[in-house]
Amino acid sequence: MSRIVISGTGVYTPPFSISNEELVLSFNTFVQKHNNEHRDAIADGSCQALAGSSAEFIERASGIKSRFVIDRLGVLDPERMCPQLPKRTVNEPSIQCEISVAAAQEALQSAGKNPQDIDAVIVACSNMERPYPAMAVEVQEALGISGFAFDMNIACSSATFAIQTAVDSIFRGNARAILMVNPEICSGHLNFRDRDSHFIFGDVCTAMVLEREDYCCKKAVFEIVGTKLATKFSTNIYNGFGFLNRTRPAQDTEKNRLFVQEGRKVFKEVIPLATEVIRNHLAEYNINPTDLKRVWLHQANLNMNQLICKKLLGTEITDDVTPTILDTYANTASAGSIICFHKHHADLQEHDLGVICSFGAGYSVGNIIVRRIAL
């Protein structure tokens, strides 16, 4: 059986960026207005005063300095604090389709492939713009790809879970090459009025071409050595948006329909889970963690990644072994580790080993072992 390889990647980066300082100015303006309007209730204890934020707090808590967004004005408007994305007609490309095509075109060019060379499309991300028709089918149509297409959602692990799904499908002979896309418009599900999370997410789209080695026309690629997935149910990272919200309007608050997390619990529980999955997966292939030349970790929190590196590799985070894009892109859910891979893989030599790992809501962990090879 031919080996399965990653032959191309692409990234669509939105045109707008928001710094911590800009985000904090908007948030603190909202906080001041809220506290002024509820001054009497705060004084008698019937309402709780909101606390302001700071750029220093955000960077210390997360490692984030700025984030890219599709809409900047709506997010920074203290009266709105939400992206303002006009509704498109059913005859226009959806926003997620539009950014998927942009990232996919770069991935296809990188792989030396045309749309007719692709047999399937998987769109995998944290939030879909609509339940149906599938975003993947729209992307398939927009690119002129034959075959089949479907959507996947396992939150921040959507990309790595989709990689295993693509590998399995290629291995079974259902496709020669698959385009995997991750259109993450995280600003749409973020509560910008919540001090503990208003700074976490950014927008982006990533894409990857996976294919059989004997179908590949590129010289330097990455072999998929192995994949491993794990899940453990938890509501410590939660988004209650769904089609049943309208059946209980009095019970479903806007806050529960957006991103909510118990940050300390997530930090405490996900680090050992992710570390164990990576370590056990490497052991299955007799790979020592110190043999890894590159570790492309999920880009959610710098402190979390630092601890995983210490437990796994016994080292601090370094640009050489464990590159970070969190400072400029923020958390982009499933796309984070793929951005990292896209931007930090060209220097690896033949036979160098690496790991692409994601972890997040579910809980979920997806780990992909790759090896640089020359065809």
Q: Are residues 133 and 238 in the same domain?
A: no
Would 293 be classed as within a structural domain?
yes
CATH number reported for the structural domain that contains residue 279 in this entry: 3.40.47.10
Give the pLDDT of residue 52: 94
Domain edge (last residue) among 171, 193, 219: 219
Domain edge (last residue) among 197, 219, 241: 219
- Name the H helices within 112-261: 135-143, 158-171
Q: Are residues 244 and 363 in the same domain?
A: yes
Known catalytic membership, residue 156: yes
Q: Are residues 206 and 257 in the same domain?
A: no
49-96 pLDDT, tens digit each:
999 999 999 999 999 999 999 999 999 999 999 999 999 999 999 999
Domain of 354 in residue numbering reads as 222-374
369 sits in which H/E element: strand 364-374
- Alpha-carbon dihedral angle through residues 205, 210, 215, 221, given to the nearest 10 degrees: 90
Q: Are residues 116 and 150 in the same domain?
A: yes
Would 151 be classed as within a structural domain?
yes
Work out the pLDDT band at 288, boundaries 50, 70, 90: very high
Q: Are residues 215 and 236 in the same domain?
A: no
For residue 375, pLDDT beyond 80 = no
- Name the H helices within 193-325: 263-284, 302-313
**Residue 329 CA to its chain's centroid (Å):** 10
Closest to 317 in 3D by CA, of 297, 336, 337 = 297
Q: Where do we find the tokens 């790595």? A: 160
For residue 97, give every residue at least 6 positions away whose Cβ sits within 8 Å of its Cβ, in sequence order, or none: 135, 138, 139, 142, 183
Q: Are residues 191 and 237 in the same domain?
A: no
Mean pLDDT of 113-123: 98
User: φ, ψ for residue 42 (rounded to 5)?
Assistant: -65, -40
Q: Are residues 191 and 213 in the same domain?
A: yes
303-355 pLDDT, tens digit each:
999 999 999 999 888 889 999 999 999 999 999 999 999 999 999 999 999 99
Q: Are residues 173 and 250 in the same domain?
A: no
Closest to 368 in 3D by CA, of 5, 2, 1 = 5
For residue 2, pLDDT beyond 90 = no
Q: Are residues 362 and 291 in the same domain?
A: yes
For residue 195, give every residue at least 6 positions away whose Cβ sits within 8 Å of its Cβ, in sequence order, or none: 27, 31, 50, 51, 52, 53
Would 28 be classed as within a structural domain?
no
Q: Are residues 263 and 312 in the same domain?
A: yes
Q: Are residues 206 and 313 in the same domain?
A: no
For residue 174, pLDDT beyond 90 = yes
Give the pLDDT of residue 1: 66
For residue 237, give every residue at least 6 positions away whose Cβ sits within 8 Å of its Cβ, in sequence order, or none: 155, 259, 260, 261, 262, 266, 360, 361, 362, 363
For residue 105, give every residue at least 6 positions away whose Cβ sits within 8 Å of its Cβ, in sequence order, or none: 10, 143
Contact 353, 291 (CB under 8 A): yes
**The model's pTM:** 0.96
- Across the chain, mean pLDDT equals 95
Catalytic residue among 156, 216, 309, 357: 156
Would 44 be classed as within a structural domain?
no
Would 352 be classed as within a structural domain?
yes
- What's the CA gap between 5 and 350, in Å, rounded? 14
52 burial (CB, 10 Å; 0-12 / 13-18 / 19+) is middle
Q: Are residues 273 and 316 in the same domain?
A: yes
155-173 pLDDT, tens digit each:
999 999 999 999 999 999 9
Would 22 be classed as within a structural domain?
no
What total of structural domains would you count in the chain?
A: 2
Domain edge (last residue) among 168, 184, 219: 219
Would 29 be classed as within a structural domain?
no
Would 20 be classed as within a structural domain?
no
Give the pLDDT of residue 253: 76
